Amino acid sequence: MTLRRRLYLMYIGMFTLILLGSLLSIFFIYKEYREDVFYELLESRIIMTTRLLFEVQTKDHNLVRTLDEKTTDAMFDEKVVIFNNDGQIVYSSINDSSISYSPDLLRRIKKKGRWKSIDGDREELGLNYRHDGQDYVALASALDITGLRMIDHLATALSISFAAGIAIMLVSSRVFVSRTLRPITNLSADISKIGPDDLYRRLEVPERGDEISSIAISFNETLDRLTAAFEFQSNFVHYASHELNTPVTVVQAIIDRIRSGNHSVEAYRQAMEEISEINERLTDLLTSLLLLAGLDSMNPMRSMSAVRMDDVLFDVAEITSVSHPETHLSIDLDVADNTMFPFEVIGISPLLRTAMSNLTENGTKYADDGNVHCTLISDRYYVRFRIITKGQSIPDSYSELIFKPFVRFAPAQSIRGRGLGLAIVRRIAEVHRGNISYSHTSHDENIFELAIPARQE
């Protein structure tokens, strides 16, 4: 079902329910009111008759009947009957109407004090009346001709109003739904114009600042991210193929060179070393590329567990001290007072180890004086791993770019690496809802900080 139809039906349904509910309420409230007023009249008639009979002490029942008939507020076809305690009629008004009663009904009225009923169009009221220690039961019955006629008129008027309301609503709902959906229809038409060859086209954002503007902004942002991902993919394949193909070509060149003619043992040994070095570079590149691809394709719902970052840091430091004995590595720990779980994060231990290892490895490569200082700071919200080294600072214009794959700051070109280490760290930080940043001080200190949200419960 289309949104238009759904909105249309919803609008009709709601309006019909509200209109019907309102009209029925008016009808029933008025009907109730008429009944109450009519029963009050019947009650006053009974009270007046009983007062004439017992309090004025008249024995002339005909006089009472005459007074009953001549009263200005006489009701149509009314009948009043009064019974004594033995169920005998002590008074009955003159007319042809009759009230059906039984000894059982009289007993019930005596017991409850009040009884009312509707017999066809006639409304009946029974009251218990006590005079001089004697119980009397009075029954009154009459037709509310005027009231019932007014109810009929009201029902007709309300039915006409309902029909008119529905007719107006059917027309207005079409206009309302069309006007409401027009911006969405326009937006949909604009979106359908954006094809795979037109990824740089953006939607026009209405100035109204309403939900449609928000959708247009969100859609444009999604397009921005898609375009960036598309560009990244293109560049990634471009750079990756270059980085993979070049060393393979070089290896082939070395093999061709060795194959042509006779060479000394020293020449063969040198060729083997060249190939071995290129193979090591290829190994680095392949491992990093596969890890980066693995991070992108890993199951996002993968469960994480509590990880002590200090344990991971000591693992990394131990391995670094063995693989880079020339580097002087120092570690400092700090825990803020309000920390609930010192150094604990919710994460994936091997990935955090890779991230910390990459940062430490970078430190060993770029520290001018061979000193790599690691600090692990734990507070209530984050566990922050900082690597501080002395060396040439990265210009501010590069400080974000260095976290992109294959981007290397010019002075780093002479150092082995392919510009994937920091991209991997950033991706791992993202997987853990953390972040990685770079800053430097005026004393040529370069600081990389990996911040991972701390365990909260």
Task: List residues binding other proteins (CB under 8 A).
Answer: 280, 282-284, 286-287, 290-291, 293-295, 297-299, 302, 308, 310-311, 314-315, 317-323, 325, 328-335, 342, 348-351, 353
* Residues contacting residue 231 through CB under 8 Å, at least 6 positions apart: none
Q: What are 40's two structure tokens? A: 């009050």
**CB 326 to other proteins: min, Å:** 11
Contact predicate 316/357, CB 8 Å: yes
Q: What are 395's two structure tokens? A: 């210009």
The residue (of 49 and 339) whose beta carbon lies closer to other proteins is 339
The residue (of 154 and 275) whose beta carbon lies closer to other proteins is 275
**CB 454 to other proteins: min, Å:** 15
Q: Which residues pair with 347 in a beta bridge?
A: 305
Q: What are 51's two structure tokens? A: 């007062």
Q: Which amino acid is at 368?
A: D
Contact predicate 15/173, CB 8 Å: yes
Contact predicate 344/307, CB 8 Å: yes
The residue (of 17 and 340) whose beta carbon lies closer to other proteins is 340
**CB 310 to other proteins: min, Å:** 7
Place of tokens 């309420």: 25
DSSP letter (8 states) at residue 391: S
Longest dimension (CA), the chain: 157
**CB 4 to other proteins: min, Å:** 44
Place of tokens 């000894």: 103
**286 phi and psi, to 5 degrees?**
-65, -45
Q: What are 141's two structure tokens? A: 């019955």
The residue (of 211 and 280) whose beta carbon lies closer to other proteins is 280
The residue (of 63 and 298) whose beta carbon lies closer to other proteins is 298
The residue (of 47 and 319) whose beta carbon lies closer to other proteins is 319
**CB 253 to other proteins: min, Å:** 21
**CB 263 to other proteins: min, Å:** 27
